[in-house]
Structure 1
Amino acid sequence: MIDSILGAIHWNTRPEIFSIGSFEVRYYTLCFLLAFIGSYVLMLRIFKRENKPQELLDQLSIYIFVGTLLGARLGHCLFYEFDYYKDHPLEMILPYTYVDGKFTLTGFHGLASHGGAIGILVGIFLFCRKTKTDFLWIADRLVLVVPLAGAFVRIGNFFNSEIIGLPSDLPWAVVFERVDAIARHPAQLYEAICYLLIFILLWNIYHRKSLLKPGFLFGLFLILLFGARFVMEFLKENQEAFEAGMAYNMGQLLSLPFVAAGIYLVFRPYQALPNKKK
């Protein structure tokens, strides 16, 4: 799997754990499932800590799961490959391609984290409207586990040899042999480490600070995670050809509104109302 040669780590692991015919299980899929399972377990601890019913979390989980998948998929299609998918709209949501009068199962190749973030926010909004739950209360708790889930996803990207970094001569540079023979920054692992640190920070703030204004943790999450994403993009290869002539790539441009929203939430004036119900 890993072989250190000439000062670089050579990575040539196949993305499939196993396959039976056209059916295959990938490391990325496993990481995605671990992200949701880990998030659910931690959210359950939070709900129990705050005397909220598990049934409410189960409902929320469905909204988040669907919102994440649809948002991430549509985000990739609309933000990164719109020229193709505008002529093949069904392929945005169906895992097949239609060529020369023949349907071919392809799976979903392309998920965008910014689209996933939008999908999660839409899912929370719909959930809160149905259950009459406060949006910021849910958002402040959910962002405690999202960075951990993001770390799992980036590890999955590493197994897929995708979202690769720029060339590097650092001792920990990685040659993704399934892509080319160039030693590169393991940008996926950099990002995963950043997300783990954000998770640890937010988790500690939540458990140590009893009085936080609504939206503070949500805002801090947006600043830290999408700020880290903006910086990490400087170490990555562009994902699409159209980004080559851009001063800032699509990932960076999409991160800026999230950071701006986070700054507003953290620094907005807030005065708690007497006996306000949460």
Structure 2
Amino acid sequence: MLVHPQFDPVAIHLGSFGIHWYGLMYLIGFLAFLWLGKWRIQHQTWWSQSGWTTKTLDDALFYGALGVILGGRLGYALFYQGSYYLSHPHEILFLWQGGMSFHGGFIGVMIAMWLFARKRGLTFLGIMDFVAPLVPVGLGAGRMGNFINGELWGRASDVPWAMVFPQIDNVARHPSQLYEFLLEGVVLFILLWWYSSKPRARGSVSALFLIGYGGFRFLVEFTRQPDDFLGLLSLGLSMGQWLSLPMVIAGVWLMIVSLRQPSQV
């Protein structure tokens, strides 16, 4: 049995001001997005030929960051604590209190990329195909931030690597944050980076992201402790699983439609 190291959630103390690990994880995700995106533009020439430049990438990050933050917060308020925030709508703006939803952030990013596509005269699916392989590094970093903070812990377990989170109780649990780091971060990145290493039918890379993330998240949720204020929902599934199922279904549909088209960006 392992014990959570009880990291200090503040990475850097500057007097009364502190830089939190979770904020640094967001920064890592955004920097990785830029670095990997520039590499793709320089080395995968079909992207530069389709209109992608360093300036385009910078603008896409700006739109995407707004989508992540606004969508993630609104999604959390809507999907997880709707009744509370309906009574306290002003607290939706209190980002420092925590509470972000991946699925809300995902919807926010799609809306932001749709607006970006209209502004730039690019195709929506073409943009999403370019962006999708750049996202898992940020997802993995976010899950590592959850682990450092000792939040979003797993269900009770007797596996050899089960971990006690002393700030919660003395029960050995699945380190579900690390499972998500591995699957949604490392494995999904490798899968998408490999698949997108040559021109594919438009929409197929996006489809693989939907299938991969939705499938991995659905599986890991079986080891993750449901939110106390929600518990398990219909059919014994968590909110995260119910939100992930449409992603998988949409991904399969999009993959079938995309593979009927010729390879293009």
Q: What TM-score do the two structures reach when normalised by structure 2?
A: 0.91
**Paired residues, number:** 256
Residue 205 of structure 1: how far off its partner (Å): 1.6
RMSD: 1.8
Aligned partner of 1:23 in structure 2 is 17
> For residues 113-192 of structure 1, what are the structure 2 equivalents within 5 Å?
113-192=102-181
SS in 1 for 2:111: helix
Aligned partner of 1:112 in structure 2 is 101
Q: Does 1:260 align with 2:254?
A: no
Do 1:11 and 1:175's aligned partners in 2 also have CA atoms closer than 8 Å?
A: no
Moved more, 46-55 or 118-127: 46-55
Residue 161 of structure 1: how far off its partner (Å): 0.9
Cα distance change on mapping 1:41 and 1:108 into 2, 3 Å: farther
Q: Does 1:85 align with 2:85?
A: yes
Give the letter for the 2:18 counterpart: E
Residue 22 of structure 1: how far off its partner (Å): 5.4
Q: Does 1:220 align with 2:208?
A: yes
Do 1:164 and 1:186's aligned partners in 2 also have CA atoms closer than 8 Å?
A: yes
The higher radius of gyration belongs to: 1
Q: Where in structure 2 are there 5+ consecutive unaligned residues?
A: none
Do 2:3 and 2:166's aligned partners in 1 also have CA atoms closer than 8 Å?
A: no
SS in 1 for 2:18: strand
Do 1:17 and 1:26's aligned partners in 2 also have CA atoms closer than 8 Å?
A: yes
Structure 1 distance, partners of 2:247, 2:233, is: 23
Residue 46 of structure 1: how far off its partner (Å): 1.5
Aligned partner of 1:233 in structure 2 is 221
Structure 2 distance, partners of 1:8, 1:272, is: 51
Aligned partner of 2:237 in structure 1 is 248
Structure 1 distance, partners of 2:150, 2:262, is: 48
Residue 137 of structure 1: how far off its partner (Å): 0.9
Give the letter for the 2:194 counterpart: N
SS in 2 for 1:24: strand
Do 1:166 and 1:237's aligned partners in 2 also have CA atoms closer than 8 Å?
A: yes
SS in 2 for 1:241: coil
Structure 1 distance, partners of 2:244, 2:164, is: 28
Aligned partner of 1:204 in structure 2 is 194
Percentage identity across aligned positions? 37
Q: What TM-score do the two structures reach when normalised by structure 1?
A: 0.87
Structure 1 distance, partners of 2:88, 2:149, is: 25
Aligned partner of 2:31 in structure 1 is 37
Structure 2 distance, partners of 1:127, 1:58, is: 12
User: As a proportion of its length, which structure holds more strand?
Assistant: 1
Structure 1 distance, partners of 2:37, 2:228, is: 35
